[in-house]
């Protein structure tokens, strides 16, 4: 079968292939697909060839939690062996094998980096799994990725040694240096991102448990502590506790005279509300204005620096504003622009919003 015939076969059976891909398996498969080994019988069902699934998932940027991160130990050993043979015999065959293996390793590193990035994005946005499972998967991925650091070092050490044996190989590897450095540095970034995600998810789990405890207390009306508190000496005159059939507590005022109310309000440092006259004049505060020139200058800086946290960025430049609150006002103003919202909050308690473009969502100028 030629490549073109394979493409034609895939097109003829496109609907069947799509059904099997979506359902993971099928009880019946066409003879042509089975004969081509695109469909493989497993027990009483047929499944798509794993190589085809891997190809489709790579093209469609799909990953699952069970993916395996290769360490390329065998490829590295083969490179070392080919290097030794080339130095001994200087045959073009070994040099060609080295270059082909370098390209293969590079492409696999490229796909591995892309898959890890997609996997972390899936972790952060997955709402189909319980928090316990998410934490378990995140820890497994963290362990797998952490082991890649030593594997990367071995590959890059071998690449550095290969640069010294032939000019063509050196040129080839030099062209890949920038990408290889990016793949290596991304590993540390991914590890830090995973560690931060695990900490945040554990905190979310802790908060959820607290919420469940509070909800359980409310649903089961475990109000003994509240009852004791309301019956305490300091608050006895503020509430009357009545028990209904559902054992609910009703906070009802039970003041016998005005003097007791005044005494209680004085203790609480409260005062009677002053009635508002019908013709009272309400003064509308003057509108707060932001300097257009200043906004334009801020946007120009944002375009240049592309910060991941706009508010923190503005606070660092607070000396350029007339008033301390201007940083927050400008931050609110910039939310109408092309920004990316995060689930995280910075040290100021403000949601982290990253600048990712220019121009208002509704117009090109604020």
Q: Please give the full DSSP string across 282-323, using - where no structure is assigned.
A: PPPPPPP---HHHHHHHHHHHHHH--S-HHHHHHHTGGGSSS
Q: How far apart are CA 347 and CA 341, in angstroms?
A: 16
**Structure tokens that stand for 9 in this block:** 């076969």
Question: What are the beta bridge partners of residue 83?
Answer: none
Band (pLDDT 50/70/90 cuts) for residue 237 is: very low
177-186, 255-264, 270-279: which is most confident: 177-186
Domain boundaries, the chain: 16-59, 73-213, 232-270, 292-360
> Mean pLDDT across the stretch 276-294?
53
Q: Which of 136, 171, 165, 146 is nearest to 66 (CA)?
A: 136
Runs of H (alpha helix) within the chain? 3-12, 14-23, 31-35, 50-59, 73-89, 92-125, 131-146, 148-162, 167-219, 224-230, 258-267, 292-305, 310-316, 326-334
Average pLDDT, the chain: 77
Residue 93, classified by CB atoms within 10 Å of its CB into exposed (0-12), middle (13-18) or buried (19+), is exposed
Backbone angles phi, psi at 324, to 5 degrees: -60, -30
Q: How far apart are CA 145 and CA 11, in angstroms?
A: 38
* CA neighbours closer than 13 Å in the CB half-sphere of residue 47: 8
Band (pLDDT 50/70/90 cuts) for residue 213 is: confident
9-13, 120-124, 347-351: which is most confident: 9-13
In this prediction the pTM is 0.51
pLDDT at 293: 42
Q: Are 333 and 295 in contact (CB under 8 A)?
A: yes
The set of residues, in sequence order, having a beta carbon less than 8 Å from that of 31 and lying 6+ positions away, is none
pLDDT at 273: 57
pLDDT at 78: 92
pLDDT at 120: 87
User: Is 325 or 204 the better-scoring residue by pLDDT?
Assistant: 204
Q: How far apart are CA 249 and CA 227, in angstroms?
A: 8
User: Is 278 or 342 the better-scoring residue by pLDDT?
Assistant: 342
Cα 324 to chain centroid distance, Å, stands at 32
- Judge whether residue 364 has pLDDT over 70: no
> In this structure, how many other beta carbons lie within 10 angstroms of the beta carbon of residue 361?
10
Band (pLDDT 50/70/90 cuts) for residue 8 is: very high
Window from 136-145, 322-331, 357-366 with minimum mean pLDDT: 357-366
User: Is 323 or 238 the better-scoring residue by pLDDT?
Assistant: 323
Q: How far apart are CA 272 and CA 331, in angstroms?
A: 39
pLDDT at 129: 77
> In this structure, how many other beta carbons lie within 10 angstroms of the beta carbon of residue 100?
11
Q: Are 106 and 176 in contact (CB under 8 A)?
A: yes
Percent with pLDDT over 70 in the chain: 73
Q: How far apart are CA 112 and CA 108, in angstroms?
A: 6
Residue 294, classified by CB atoms within 10 Å of its CB into exposed (0-12), middle (13-18) or buried (19+), is middle
User: Is 128 or 135 the better-scoring residue by pLDDT?
Assistant: 135
- Judge whether residue 254 has pLDDT over 80: no
**Structure tokens that stand for 196 in this block:** 């931060």
**Structure tokens that stand for 129 in this block:** 């799994």
pLDDT at 252: 45
39-48, 77-86, 114-123: which is most confident: 77-86
pLDDT at 266: 61
**Structure tokens that stand for 305 in this block:** 């620096």
- Judge whether residue 261 has pLDDT over 50: yes
The set of residues, in sequence order, having a beta carbon less than 8 Å from that of 250 and lying 6+ positions away, is 240, 241, 242, 244
Give the chain's radius of gyration (CA, Å): 33
- 61: DSSP letter: T
């Amino acid at each position: 079968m030629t490549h073109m015939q394979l493409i034609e076969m895939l097109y003829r059976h496109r609907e069947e292939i799509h059904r099997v891909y979506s359902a993971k398996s099928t009880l019946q498969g066409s003879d042509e697909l089975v004969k081509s080994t695109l469909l493989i019988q497993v027990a009483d069902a047929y499944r798509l060839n794993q190589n085809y699934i891997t190809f489709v998932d790579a093209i469609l940027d799909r990953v699952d939690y069970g993916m395996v991160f290769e360490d390329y130990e065998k490829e590295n050993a083969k490179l070392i062996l080919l290097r030794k043979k080339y130095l001994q015999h200087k045959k073009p065959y070994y040099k060609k094998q080295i270059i082909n293996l370098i390209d293969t390793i590079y492409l696999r590193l490229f796909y591995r980096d892309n898959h890890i990035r997609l996997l972390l994005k899936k972790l952060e946005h997955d709402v189909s799994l319980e928090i316990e499972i998410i934490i378990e998967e995140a820890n497994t991925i963290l362990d797998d990725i952490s082991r890649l650091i030593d594997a990367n070092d071995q590959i890059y050490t071998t690449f550095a040694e290969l640069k010294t044996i032939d000019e063509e190989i050196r040129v080839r590897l030099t062209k890949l240096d920038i990408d290889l450095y990016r793949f290596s540095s991304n590993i540390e970034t991914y590890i830090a991102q995973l560690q931060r995600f695990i900490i945040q998810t554990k905190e979310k789990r802790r908060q959820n448990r607290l919420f469940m405890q509070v909800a359980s207390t409310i649903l089961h009306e475990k109000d003994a502590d509240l009852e004791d508190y309301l019956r305490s000496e300091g608050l006895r005159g503020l509430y009357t506790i009545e028990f209904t059939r559902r054992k609910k507590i009703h906070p009802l005022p039970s003041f016998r005279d005005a003097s007791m109310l005044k005494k209680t309000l004085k203790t609480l440092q409260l005062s009677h509300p002053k009635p508002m006259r019908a013709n009272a004049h309400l003064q509308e505060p003057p509108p707060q204005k932001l300097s257009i020139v200043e906004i334009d200058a801020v946007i120009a800086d944002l375009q240049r620096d592309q910060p991941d946290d706009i508010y923190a960025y503005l606070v660092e430049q607070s000396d350029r504003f007339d008033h301390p609150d201007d940083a927050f006002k400008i931050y609110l103003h910039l939310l109408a622009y092309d920004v990316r919202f995060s689930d995280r909050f910075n040290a100021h308690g403000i949601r982290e919003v990253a600048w990712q473009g220019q121009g208002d969502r509704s117009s090109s100028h604020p």
